[in-house]
């Protein structure tokens, strides 16, 4: 079992460097995984290990430790009303605001993409909207997450069909191939339209050269502590082009009182031009 000092150090470490607001009463499954982590990595004192690890947050052991607290919870077309708004209102307005009407360069970011269902749902929505014209424009998805495990699943694009609603399964048919083991896999040309990269939303800066027209950051920031959430929101705001749209979780609201944004619907905001 973890000592009181180890638990306190762990909570402070995860809170400071990754922004996650952990409860002091860690769940039994987390405690079990933490004890396994210590045993596998031959760590006698977790507090001492963490004190020596602050210089390299990309160390594989630190990322393995973080995975214990990252529980993916997502599915295809989660809160489908937002995807309908994406096709019916957001994409048309983004296109109308572009300076070059004959050259479409639509930049979209799925922040906290988890195991990839959101990113592929966005891609399918784009292809439904543009049809064959999609392949003539500059588009695609930048999809990021802090979890290496989730990104590995996302990049492979393989999912169990039994976990997918029948109606959604029919919607995905055109974009996927059936595997022999009761799974489906997104076709290679679809997978190539998503760029999956590791990113900590608690980082001081984001490595993007161009601003995005649309950002999905749904049900991620609710797990951040207050200060980290505000800081992450502001960095995300700076990554969004004027007139661009940000999608939060259906019940989420912006933490900041940023007057540059107007709410269009549940969890949908537009950055004023």
Q: How far apart are CA 15 and CA 19, in angstroms?
A: 5
Q: How far apart are CA 113 and CA 147, in angstroms?
A: 9
Contact 60, 66 (CB under 8 A): no
Provide the pLDDT for residue 97.
86
Provide the pLDDT for residue 20.
87
pLDDT at residue 100 is higher than 90? no
What is the 3-state secondary structure of 158-172?
EEEHHHCCHHHHHHH
CB atoms under 10 Å from CB of 39, counted, come to: 9
Instruction: Please report how the helices 60-67 and 28-40 are oriented relative to each other, as an axis angle in degrees rounded to 10.
Output: 160
pLDDT at residue 54 is higher than 80? no
Boundaries of CATH 3.40.50.150 in the chain? 80-271
Domain 80-271 has CATH 3.40.50.2300: no
116-167 per-position pLDDT tens digit: 999 999 999 999 999 999 999 999 899 999 999 999 999 999 999 998 999 9
Mean pLDDT of 101-130: 94
CB atoms under 10 Å from CB of 31, counted, come to: 15
Provide the pLDDT for residue 226.
87
Q: What is the dihedral of CA 84, 86, 87, 92, to 10 degrees?
A: 140
**Alpha helices for 192-268 (secondary structure H):** 226-238
Contact 201, 225 (CB under 8 A): no
- 181 contacts: CB under 8 Å, gap ≥ 6: none
Provide the pLDDT for residue 55.
60
- 41 contacts: CB under 8 Å, gap ≥ 6: 49, 61, 64
Mean pLDDT of 64-90: 91
45-48: list long-range contacts, CB under 8 Å, 24+ apart: 45/6, 46/2, 46/6, 46/9, 46/10, 47/3, 47/5, 47/6, 47/9, 47/10
Chain position carrying tokens 């609201």: 253
Nearest in space to 194 (alpha carbons), one of 251, 264, 118: 118
Provide the pLDDT for residue 257.
67
């Amino acid at each position: 079992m973890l000592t009181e000092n180890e638990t306190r150090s762990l909570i402070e470490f995860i809170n400071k460097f990754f922004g996650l607001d952990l409860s002091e009463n860690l769940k039994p499954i987390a405690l079990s995984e933490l004890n396994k982590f210590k045993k596998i990595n031959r760590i006698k004192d977790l507090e001492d290990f963490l004190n020596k690890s602050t210089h390299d947050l990309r160390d594989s052991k630190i990322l393995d430790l973080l995975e214990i607290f990252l529980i993916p919870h997502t599915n295809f077309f989660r809160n489908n009303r937002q995807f309908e708004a994406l096709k019916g209102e957001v994409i048309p307005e983004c296109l109308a605001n572009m300076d070059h009407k004959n050259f479409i360069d639509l930049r979209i970011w799925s922040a906290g993409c988890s195991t990839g269902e959101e990113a592929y749902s966005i891609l399918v929505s784009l292809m439904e909207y543009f049809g064959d014209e999609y392949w003539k424009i500059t588009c695609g998805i930048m999809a990021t997450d802090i979890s290496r495990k989730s990104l590995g699943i996302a990049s492979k694009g393989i999912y169990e069909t039994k976990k997918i609603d029948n109606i959604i399964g029919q919607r995905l048919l055109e974009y996927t191939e059936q595997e022999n083991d009761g799974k489906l896999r997104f076709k290679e040309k679809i997978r190539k339209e998503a760029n999956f990269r590791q990113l900590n939303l608690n980082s001081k800066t984001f490595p993007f050269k161009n601003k995005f027209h649309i950002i999905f950051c749904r049900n991620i920031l609710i797990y951040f502590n207050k200060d980290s959430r505000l800081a992450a929101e502001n960095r995300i705001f700076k990554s969004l082009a004027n007139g661009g749209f940000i999608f939060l979780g259906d019940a989420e609201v912006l933490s900041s009182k940023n007057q540059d944004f107007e709410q269009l619907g549940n969890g949908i905001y537009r950055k004023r031009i």
